[in-house]
């Protein structure tokens, strides 16, 4: 008998050859197929299936060699038919994340496949081979029908229709005499014959009642076993309906009837129980019956499955496992039925109510030569994990008995499983164990399972013999590769359990994980492939990041820092290595070493975050700061070519590492100073639009600012160099970009930088858009913060609540709760929750006087900022007074003192409000003055326009009226004469200002004849009349005179 493997799913997958198996009512027959050989799915290797359970089919066994010979078939000519839909390939999700395909070679029990035709007697079975006897199907049946005639058929149909189910029920309830027994059996045969093609929905309740009566009689008379099984078999056929609405109308009755099938598992008969399970499996058969009752049609394909869910059949079958605990064949059949039922989430919920997970886990290590007990039980557990609450399933599996059973079957498959199927099943059990290990209450350590798995995880790397796994040899097969990854994942799970840390410390986990922290080498012939080794390497380094902080002593003793720094040096070297990038951890690492760099930096980040001086000193002594700066420069250059999430994460991790290493150590800050500042500047200059890209620029910018705070501030060399690079201007530009999540850290950096006396001049010099000053920007941020906090202000920005001038709306809603002295009150906690305290501190550094670029509104806000600390002290005193009044009654003097103290912030608020009013009034007066000045200018303009208009009118009058022109001429001459000096000029030439022949009253042009210039200087009369168009040489006349 030849078997074909499953294509990667949980159930068996087989294919028809030239012949297939088919079961009649009394045994197996051969069915001719269309193909000539087995067809394998591409990419799936063939392998032998585990042997079937003995006696799994009772008398209906597979034909022997003799029967094969009689049928004319050679050895290997018989092939298994494709099993039920449950046995097809299905994906499984492992504990390590992601879906994977579980393949195996387990076919099914040696039972008829789930997809088969309704049972018939051997004489009528069309599946019977010609070599096994004559068949009455096809032409022979038609010949018999023609011989018998139409009348005989009509008589038979009338007899079948004449079966009265009420009469049958009454007959079965009568006394059990010998004659009555024969009549009852005869009547049952008629019923079976009547409904051989399916049960109508309207008769189902009566059929189930007949089943129950037969079950009661079976306790005394075995003869009723066969009709009972036949009736149960009929329940496996598709139900038949007359109307479309019958499915809904009879749904309640059908669900109860199917539930009764489960209750029949109480019948102490192996044959009946197996037939019930076969009936349940047939629910998932989608083949339609060959013949229907007249006027009927079959119900929908999923109707029985839905009714089984409604009737709670799955829960009943789980409970029935206790009845078949010692009968292997019956148990396997029940498990097969549950395997089909567990494909539904509703059924899985019902099964969990019956503690299905714990029951099935206890069966894992049961005696079963075929191996199907483990296979089917684990498959149902997988379905429960997928379709119900994982936590609920794990809780049921977390008992000591279940963990022991799981451990025993896992060790058995590990040590004695050599087939591909065994290895796959071993891996599936390990995934279930990993899920159980995530439950802190599970007794994994008490059972010894945890120690066994840790030893197994480190076996191939440390190569130290261990008696727990004596004689175990792992290969380089794909299943063992999956096992290795699952074991690494298990170590990561155990690292989260404080109880398991001691076991990890006592084992060789750290050396085993550090085994992979080395440059990739060319794989040998008997070794992992390059892609497999890279995946294991990245997985091991990723787990190392979780384990290293827990085992810091072993981390240092193994020189892990040195190994990681050397490995990082290899990552930026020119070594021709090209990563495969196929695995989960290898994302972004195809064709480069970025994946290795990424996870190595994560390991360093996890150990440096412990703030362990020994670890940090060990790193810095090996030149970690300069090496990290080189890697950061390399990653930044790579990011210029193409930005992706991996490169941004690498840069952010390096900046974080530098922040932790340089914090509170001036010498390390000096090592960082020049080169580090040059690298930081481009990060601060990042385009704010990139912060919303989703790639991680926001995290990178925050890391850069944190690095600036930790590595630059406190070291004057680094601070001066940062100021020289105009770093303060860049910070203020970033602050003005309105990135709210950056306000706190930027303001904190600026406040710390102000301890350097050179910083304030840089802040005062800065100008933003529209010539905005730093003081104006800070005051604007203050107003925006108070608006978000809900601080009450009037429309001019003045104080509205004199008693609590700076209290937020949330702060006012808080009730007074007495607090211990070491616990900060809400007024103190509120300081760190907004940026007002940092703005106040920064303005204190800049000074509140002579701030440029402020408006009256800014001065109103500035008056509040200036008194911020006084208002905050008043809030603290207010809380103190309220707490005292809650628990004590102060004496008169104390009460008076508290009253005076509580009035101080109110008086301060009134004083500030008065100052704000004064500022606003001054602003109003200034606006009035500016308005009057503007009106004066407007009046002057209008007056000038009037004068121009009047002058133009006078001009028009003179040009149009000659008398007016003469009058104007006389007035002009009189005016000129009046303007002349009365004193006679002695010994001086008198020039006439009149132009002869001019009869205009407007001013003359620039042409003036100068008669006093001697001709010797001009060289005589000018020969050129267009003097304005020509520039004669200045000394032309003088040169002529010299020559003469």
**Cβ atoms 372, 107 nearer than 8 A:** no
Nearest to 52 by CA among 100, 14, 26: 14
Q: Record the tokens describing residue 395, joined without a space.
A: 């809780």
pLDDT in tens, 264-284: 999 989 999 999 999 999 999
Residue 836's CB: how many other CB atoms inside 10 A?
23
Q: Record the tokens describing residue 957, joined without a space.
A: 């009058």
Rounded Cα–Cα distance for residues 877 and 630 (Å): 54
pLDDT at 989: 62
Place of tokens 């020049």: 674
pLDDT band at 34 (very low <50, low <70, confident <90, very high): very low
Angle in degrees, CA 628, 747, 703, rounded to 5: 20
Q: Which helix (H) or strand (E) holds 297?
A: strand 297-298
pLDDT at 47: 39
Q: Which residues contact 91 (CB under 8 A, 6 or more apart)?
A: 99, 100, 101, 102
Nearest to 580 by CA among 523, 642, 632: 523
Strand partners, 22: 29
Rounded Cα–Cα distance for residues 717 and 670 (Å): 7
pLDDT band at 1015 (very low <50, low <70, confident <90, very high): low
Q: Is the pLDDT of residue 146 over 80?
A: no
The two most distant CA atoms of the chain are separated, in Å, by: 180
pLDDT band at 351 (very low <50, low <70, confident <90, very high): very high
pLDDT in tens, 843-881: 999 999 889 989 999 999 999 999 999 999 998 888 888
The alpha-carbon radius of gyration of the chain (Å, integer) is 50
Q: Is the pLDDT of residue 906 over 70?
A: yes
Q: Is the pLDDT of residue 972 over 90?
A: no
pLDDT at 729: 95
Per mean pLDDT, which range of 59-63, 404-408, 673-677, 1025-1029 is the poorest?
Answer: 59-63
136 compared with 491, residue with greater pLDDT: 491
Q: Record the tokens describing residue 137, joined without a space.
A: 């199907």
**Cβ atoms 439, 490 nearer than 8 A:** no
Phi, psi of 255 (to 5 degrees): -65, -40
pLDDT in tens, 5-28: 333 333 333 333 333 333 333 333
Angle in degrees, CA 794, 800, 802, rounded to 5: 160
pLDDT at 653: 96
Q: Is the pLDDT of residue 37 over 60?
A: no
Q: Which helix (H) or strand (E) holds 735?
A: helix 727-736
**Cβ atoms 604, 634 nearer than 8 A:** no
pLDDT in tens, 193-211: 888 888 889 888 899 999 8
pLDDT at 113: 35
Mean pLDDT of the chain: 79
Phi, psi of 307 (to 5 degrees): -70, -35
pLDDT band at 223 (very low <50, low <70, confident <90, very high): confident
**Burial tier of 191 (Cβ tally within 10 Å: 0-12, 13-18, 19+):** buried
Rounded Cα–Cα distance for residues 38 and 32 (Å): 14
pLDDT band at 583 (very low <50, low <70, confident <90, very high): confident
Q: Record the tokens describing residue 551, joined without a space.
A: 């085992």
**Cβ atoms 711, 662 nearer than 8 A:** yes
Instruction: Looking at 867-961, list the stretches that DSSP marks H as alpha helix, in order from N- to C-terminal side.
Output: 868-887, 892-960
Percent of the chain having pLDDT more than 70? 77
What's the pTM? 0.71
Q: Is the pLDDT of residue 1009 over 60?
A: no
Q: Is the pLDDT of residue 84 over 60?
A: no
764 compared with 821, residue with greater pLDDT: 764
Highest mean pLDDT among 134-148, 638-652, 990-1004: 638-652
Residues in the chain: 1044
Q: Is the pLDDT of residue 650 over 80?
A: yes
Q: Which helix (H) or strand (E) holds 749?
A: helix 743-753
pLDDT at 1040: 43
pLDDT at 1020: 61
DSSP state of 468: G
By three-state DSSP, how is residue 174 classified?
A: coil
616 compared with 123, residue with greater pLDDT: 616
**CA 687 distance to own-chain centroid:** 26
Angle in degrees, CA 475, 479, 484, rounded to 5: 75
Residue 538's CB: how many other CB atoms inside 10 A?
24
pLDDT in tens, 361-403: 998 888 888 889 999 999 999 999 999 999 999 999 999 999 9
Q: Is the pLDDT of residue 99 over 80?
A: no
Percent of the chain having pLDDT more than 90? 47
DSSP state of 252: H
**CA 641 distance to own-chain centroid:** 27
């Amino acid at each position: 008998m030849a078997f074909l493997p499953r294509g990667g799913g949980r159930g068996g997958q087989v294919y028809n050859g030239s012949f297939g198996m088919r079961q009649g009512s009394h045994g197996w027959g051969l069915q001719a197929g269309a193909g000539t050989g087995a067809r394998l799915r591409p990419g799936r290797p063939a392998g032998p299936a585990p042997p079937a359970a003995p006696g799994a089919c009772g008398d209906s066994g597979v034909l022997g060699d003799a029967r094969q010979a009689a049928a004319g078939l050679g050895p290997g000519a018989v092939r298994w038919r494709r099993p039920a839909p449950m046995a097809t390939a299905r994906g499984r999700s492992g504990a390590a994340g992601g879906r994977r395909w579980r393949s195996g070679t387990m076919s099914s029990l040696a039972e008829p496949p789930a997809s088969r035709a309704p049972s018939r007697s051997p004489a009528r079975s069309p599946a019977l081979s010609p070599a096994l006897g004559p068949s009455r199907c096809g032409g022979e049946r038609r010949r018999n029908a023609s011989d018998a005639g139409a009348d005989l058929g009509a008589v038979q149909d009338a007899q079948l229709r004449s079966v009265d189910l009420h009469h049958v029920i009454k007959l079965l309830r009568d006394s059990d005499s010998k004659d009555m027994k024969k009549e009852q059996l005869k009547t049952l045969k008629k019923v079976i014959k009547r409904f051989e093609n399916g049960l109508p929905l309207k008769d189902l309740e009566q059929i189930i009642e007949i089943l129950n009566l037969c079950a009661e009689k079976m306790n005394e008379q075995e003869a009723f076993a066969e009709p009972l099984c036949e009736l149960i078999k009929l329940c496996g056929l598709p139900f038949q309906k007359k109307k479309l609405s019958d499915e809904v109308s009879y749904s309640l009755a059908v669900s109860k009837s199917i539930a009764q099938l489960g209750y029949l598992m109480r019948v102490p008969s192996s044959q009946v129980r197996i037939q019930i399970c076969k009936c349940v499996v047939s629910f998932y058969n989608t083949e339609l019956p060959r013949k229907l009752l007249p006027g009927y049609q079959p119900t929908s394909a999923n109707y029985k499955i839905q009714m089984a869910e409604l009737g709670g059949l799955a829960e009943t079958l789980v409970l029935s496992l206790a009845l078949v605990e010692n009968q292997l064949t019956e148990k396997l059949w029940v498990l097969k039925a549950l395997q089909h039922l567990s494909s539904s989430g509703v059924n899985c919920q019902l099964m969990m109510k019956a503690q299905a997970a714990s029951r099935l886990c206890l069966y894992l290590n049961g005696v079963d030569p075929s191996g199907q007990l483990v296979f089917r039980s684990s498959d149902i557990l997988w379905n429960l994990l997928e379709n119900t609450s994982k936590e609920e399933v794990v809780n049921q599996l977390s008992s000591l008995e279940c963990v022991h059973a799981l451990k025993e079957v896992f060790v058995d498959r590990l040590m004695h499983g050599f087939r591909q199927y065994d290895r796959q099943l071993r891996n599936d059990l390990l995934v279930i164990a990993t899920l159980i290990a995530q439950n802190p209450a599970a007794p994994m350590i008490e059972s010894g399972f945890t120690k066994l798995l840790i030893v197994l995880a480190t076996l191939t790397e440390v190569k130290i013999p261990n008696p727990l796994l004596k004689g175990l040899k792992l290969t380089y097969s794909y299943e063992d590769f999956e096992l290795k990854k699952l074991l690494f994942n298990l170590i990561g799970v155990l690292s989260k359990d404080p109880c398991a840390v001691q076991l990890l410390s006592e084992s060789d986990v750290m050396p085993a994980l550090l085994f992979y922290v080395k440059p990739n080498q060319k794989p040998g012939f008997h070794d992992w492939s390059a892609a497999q080794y890279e995946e294991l390497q990245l997985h091991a380094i990723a787990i190392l990041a979780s384990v290293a902080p827990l085992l810091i002593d072993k981390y240092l003793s193994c020189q892990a820092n040195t190994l990681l720094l050397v490995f990082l040096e290899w990552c930026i070297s020119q070594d021709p290595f090209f990563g495969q990038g196929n695995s989960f951890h290898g994302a972004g690492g195809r064709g480069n070493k970025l994946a290795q760099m990424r996870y190595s930096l994560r390991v360093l980040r996890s150990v440096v975050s412990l703030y362990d001086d020994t670890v940090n000193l060990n790193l810095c002594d090996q030149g970690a700061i300069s090496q990290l700066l080189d890697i950061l420069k390399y990653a930044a250059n790579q990011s210029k070519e193409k930005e992706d999430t991996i490169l941004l994460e690498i840069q952010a991790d390096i900046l974080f590492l530098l922040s932790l290493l340089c914090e509170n150590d001036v010498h390390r800050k000096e090592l960082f100073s020049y080169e580090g500042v040059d690298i930081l500047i481009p990060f601060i200059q990042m385009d704010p639009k990139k912060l919303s890209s989703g790639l991680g620029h926001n995290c990178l910018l925050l890391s850069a600012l944190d690095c600036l705070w930790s590595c630059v501030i406190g070291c004057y060399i680094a601070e001066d160099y940062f100021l020289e690079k105009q770093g303060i201007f860049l910070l203020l530009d970033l602050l003005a970009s309105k990135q709210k999540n950056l306000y706190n850290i930027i303001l904190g950096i600026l406040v710390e930088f102000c301890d350097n006396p050179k910083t304030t001049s840089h802040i005062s010099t800065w100008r933003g858009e529209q010539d905005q000053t730093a003081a104006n920007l800070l005051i604007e941020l203050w107003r925006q913060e108070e608006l978000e906090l809900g601080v009450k202000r009037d429309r001019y920005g003045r104080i509205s609540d004199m008693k609590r001038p700076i209290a937020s709306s949330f702060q006012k809603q808080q009730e007074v709760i007495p607090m211990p002295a070491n616990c900060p009150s809400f007024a103190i906690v509120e300081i760190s929750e907004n940026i007002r305290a940092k703005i106040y501190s920064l303005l204190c550094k800049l000074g509140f006087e002579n701030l440029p670029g402020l408006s009256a509104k800014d001065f109103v806000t500035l008056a509040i900022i200036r008194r911020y600390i006084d208002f905050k002290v008043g809030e603290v005193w207010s809380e103190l007074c309220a707490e005292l009044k809650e628990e004590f009654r102060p004496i008169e003097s104390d009460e008076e003192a508290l009253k005076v103290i509580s009035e101080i912030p109110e008086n301060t608020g009134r004083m500030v409000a008065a100052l704000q009013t004064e500022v606003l009034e001054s602003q109003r007066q200034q606006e009035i003055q500016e308005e009057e000045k503007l009106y004066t200018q407007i009046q002057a303009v209008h007056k000038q326009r009037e004068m121009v208009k009047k002058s133009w009118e006078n001009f028009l009058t003179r040009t149009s009226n000659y008398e007016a022109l003469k009058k104007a001429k006389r007035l002009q001459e009189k005016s000129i004469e009046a303007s002349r000096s009365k004193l006679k000029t002695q010994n001086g030439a008198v020039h006439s200002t009149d132009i002869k022949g001019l009869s205009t009253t407007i001013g003359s042009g620039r042409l003036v004849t100068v008669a006093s210039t001697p001709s010797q200087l001009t060289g005589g009369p000018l020969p050129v009349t267009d003097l304005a168009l020509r520039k004669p040489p200045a000394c032309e006349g003088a040169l002529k005179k010299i020559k003469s």
